[in-house]
Amino acid sequence: MPTTSFDKESIKQSIIGKVQRYSGRTLADATDQQIYQAVASTIRDQIMQKWVTAREQDKTYMGKRLYYLSVEFLTGRSLHCNAVNLCSMENVREALMDLGINWRHVFREEPEPGLGNGGLGRLAACFMDSLASLGMPAMGCTIRYEYGLFRQRLVDGQQVEMPDNWLENGNVWEVAAPDDTMEVRFGGHVESYEIGGRTNYEVRDTHTVLAVPYDMPIAGYDNDTVNTLRMWRARSPREELNFGAFSSGDYDKALERDLANIICKVLYPEDNHAEGKRLRLIQHYFFTSATLQYAVKDFKRRFGTRFNLLPEKITVQINDTHPGLAIPELMRILMDQEGLGWDEAQAIVCKTIAYTNHTVMSEALEKWPQQMVRDQLPRIYMILEEMNRRLCDRLWNAYPGDWDRIAHMAILAYDQVHMANLCVAMSYAVNGVSKLHGEILKNTTFHDYYTLMPEKFTYITNGITHRRWLMACNTHLRKLITEAIGDKWYKEPQALEELLPFADDKAFREQFQKVKQFNKHQFNNMLFQRQGMRVEEDYMYDAQCKRLHEYKRQLLNALHIHVLYNRIMDNPNYTMVPRVFIFAAKASPGYYKAKLIIRYILALAKLIEKSPRARQMLRVVFVENYDVTAAEAIMPATELSEQLSTAGKEASGTGNMKFMMNGALTIGTLDGANVEISEQVGMENIYIFGMRAETAGALEREGGYNPMNVFEQNAEIRRALMQMIDGTLMPESPTALQALYHDLMFDDRYFVMKDFGSYSMAQHRVNEDYQNRDKWLRMAVINTAKSGVFASDRTIREYNEKIWHLI
Ligand code: 26W
């Protein structure tokens, strides 16, 4: 037990005292929100005690430190996981129970910071938890968005977006650190001058924005580590003067204020789709510049100007290319502020920065118009030009005359800045996020670079923190497992494998099933609370929860449900295991087809609701506003996990791991981490279907296939497709789904039609196996038992061994 865990009595006293002091009420009169504030701040006190000590030790720490840069950290709520990590959850629960309060009601008052879109942001949050739990010195760095990802509502069968004002009631978990405020400059023009034969550069007439850090403590599990998630907030340097700026005609000063006010307003909702938006570029530079300035300042505090030590003492991991400007920014700091020469600076930078790629979707690869970068960041642009010049010289030596290849690998080409090329060329490690993804990076996406610098490339399979995704979100399963194999797995998740023999233990399987049943009930409570709906608890729960994307193929799932519906309606003797199909997904507001897929799913749901007979076997629920909190209720309740991406497209997936850990079986393609999941559990404990990545890749390069053949050969598909456009689904707007129909028929780039037959057969096997309760539960237990390697503790250890070398 760590020294700071509070006993039940002191927790009780603290809560009563805080409710009184903060809200001027007795506990009996306090609202759930007021009680939440008191409980959260009790837990915070406990973390603060440790944070103070941790910071004290930091001051004399001479080892290596990690800066993990990411535009997204999708942390989810903090209270429950903090209580778990402090080993205080049991005491909190009992304290609240003594006070006559249901902990679940209090905990759900916490707003969720929606500071991420999906996988990339959630991964960063899992990493923070593992880093702290493994006692590794790390700081997460990001933007403190005022508005997180939009809140989704479903109105009249369509997605509607609403602002997410997550800071409305304040944020208990953050502390401002104004002492570490940095200045970030935009615009202006570069001037050069000579001193002692050296050319120096200075940017004049810039707009300055202050970056003020807000720190969130990240407590490790049952240890004394408290790391920091630093969220930078933009402030105007002339807040006090703003009043007179416009009237005195000082428009530049007014601009500065506007810029500061707008930078951290909102998180961009595009996921896997890069648009060259100016404000986004500004956001990226804002937080990378602030972070690197801080990192260098802290380095100097520790080691003075011995910059040759920098790569030994600091490592900067960039989460996809979004913080890639860290590369020219560190060059700028070392040269313009610290006086190093180019060669020296570049040697340091190239040993300090490592890059993780998270997607091979070509539309997600970031490119900025050169003119935009030149206007907003003139000195950074100069550095990029020189970097590019030197890089192209090197490429020319390697591939003399091969202009196409060189242009393809260059940082600057065709009037654009290619962020991925910058990151690959200038970092000391490039990693993919699953075995298959790592191979695709080497063989396809970055093949030319791989040939030139193979030693840089590696892969590290993603992971999830089992503390949030099992211990906290599935408390009953946690207890059951611990009763069976003890609690060693809390710190060594791979010890979950000791559960394997229990797969053959009938009594254990029945307990496992009871837990699942309880979680299905809890899911319904959430569903009712969030959207006033309930579904049958004795149906099979099947879920596909992830961002809405064509490549993730929610459409394949929907089409299959549609076919099932027709089978039921056409054949009075047709039966199947009754199933609830759960969907949860946000579509980027400008992504027309993704939004259409939501409409299709909701229309199907409505059609099924209208038929009492169909409802006996099918339900479709779309969980509104998918977020971490919703996931925490869905994962434990799910029995079948849908992982349907077109092979070769999903870099890893991490939802697949969360479902598996909570005892769901997977139906999926051999894509991303599904490949490794199938290796862990064995082909007999997973439902694999569809084309392999190689086949799909080859077919794509050939220019696709003709889906018309499938249409002509498969009467069930034909029928469903016709109903998509004949008014069966949306009588009020019969042509609404036209574009989906059209793509399936004539432009099926994600091979929905091609994989349909194989998917449908796999679903048939699911249906058979589910009826054999012993068989199904046995497989479910094996899935949980084998999920330990997908804990992010393993992932972080691998990063440390292969890339960071922190401890
Ligand atoms: C600039 C627009 C944009 C925004 C976000 C482009 C790309 C992204 C992310 C890289 C998309 C993303 O979240 N990728 C997901 O990363 C997860 C963590 O590694 C993987 O598990 C998912 O497979 C991958 O889609």
Mean pLDDT in residue range 226-253: 78
- What is the tens place of the pLDDT at every residue in 361-395? 999 999 999 999 999 999 999 999 999 999 999 99
| pLDDT at site 257 | 84
42 among known catalytic residues: no
| Cα–Cα distance measured from residue 594 to residue 598, given in angstroms and rounded to the nearest whole number | 7
- Ligand 1 atom nearest the C-alpha of 645 is 23
Instruction: Please say if 610 is a catalytic residue.
Output: no
With 70 as the cut, is the pLDDT of residue 247 above it? no
> Cβ(632)–Cβ(623) under 8 Å?
no
Write out residues with Cβ below 6 Å of ligand 1: 117-120, 123, 270-274, 320, 358-359, 364, 366, 433, 462, 650-654, 672
Tokens, residue 64: 């290596």
CA 168 to chain centre: 23
Q: What's the rounded mean pLDDT across residues 413-439? A: 98
Å from CA of 148 to ligand 1 middle: 17
Residue nearest (by alpha carbon) to ligand 1 atom 3? 272
How many angstroms is it from 548 CA to the middle of ligand 1? 12
Pocket test for ligand 1, best of 126, 281, 320, 423 (most atoms within 8 A of CB): 320
Ligand 1 atom nearest to CA at 437: 23
Q: How far apart are CA 294 and CA 330, in angstroms?
A: 11
pLDDT of residue 241: 54
Question: Torsion angle, CA of 768/772/774/779, rounded to 10 degrees?
Answer: 0
CB neighbour list of residue 27: distance below 8 Å, 6 or more residues apart: 15, 16, 19, 35, 99, 101
- DSSP label at residue 6: P
pLDDT band for position 105 (50/70/90)? very high
Ligand 1 atom 7 nearest Cα: 272
Among this protein's residues, is 546 annotated catalytic?
Answer: yes
Question: CB-based contacts of 708: which residues, under 8 Å, 6+ apart?
Answer: 745, 746
What number does the ligand 1 atom closest to the CA of 118 have? 13
Over pLDDT 90: what percentage of the chain? 96
d(CA 600, CA 585): 13
Tokens linked to 719: 């029928």
Phi, psi of 608 (to 5 degrees): -65, -40
Tokens of 646: 């077109």
User: Is the pLDDT assigned to residue 101 strictly greater than 70?
Assistant: yes
Average pLDDT rounded to a whole number, residues 255-276: 93
**Can you give the three-state secondary structure of 251-310, one letter per residue?**
HHHHHHHHHHHHHCCECCCCCCCCCCCHHHHHHHHHHHHHHHHHHHHHHHHHHCCCHHHH
Query: d(Cα 554, Cα 570) in Å, to the nearest integer?
Result: 24
- Summarize the confidence of residues 265-275 as an average pLDDT: 96
Residue 2 confidence class, pLDDT cut points 50, 70, 90: very low
Query: Which residue's structure tokens are 């670079």?
Result: 449
CA pair distance 744, 751, nearest whole angstrom: 8
**What distances in angstroms separate CA 331 from CA 195, 255, 804, one per listed residue?**
19, 28, 20
Closest CA to ligand 1's atom 1 = 274
Q: For 62-93, what is each residue's pLDDT tens digit?
A: 999 999 999 999 999 999 999 999 999 999 99
Quote the ligand 1 centre to 628 CA distance (angstroms). Answer: 16
- The length of the chain is 807
Q: How much is the CA Rg of the chain, to the nearest whole Å? A: 27
Q: Is 552 labeled as catalytic in the residue annotation?
A: yes
Q: Report residue 5's pLDDT band, with 50, 70 and 90 as the boundaries.
A: low
Q: Which of 70, 71, 74, 120 to mutate to test the pocket of ligand 1 (most atoms within 8 A of CB)?
A: 120
For residue 513, what are its two tokens?
A: 């099933």
Whether 516 is catalytic: no
**How distant is the alpha carbon of residue 700 from its chain centre?**
27
Q: Which of 18, 233, 552, 579 is catalytic?
A: 552
**Using alpha carbons only, what angle is made at residue 632 by residues 627 and 634, rounded to the nearest 5 degrees?**
90
Find the 433 Cα to ligand 1 centroid distance in Å.
10
265 part of the active site: no
Nearest CA to ligand 1 atom 2: 274
pLDDT at 4: 52
Catalytic residue among 80, 230, 547, 562: 547
| Helix, coil or strand: residue 218 | strand
pLDDT at residue 249 in the model: 67
Task: Report which ligand 1 atom has the smallest distance to the Cα of 365.
Answer: 6
Q: How many CB atoms lie within 10 A of CB 63?
A: 11
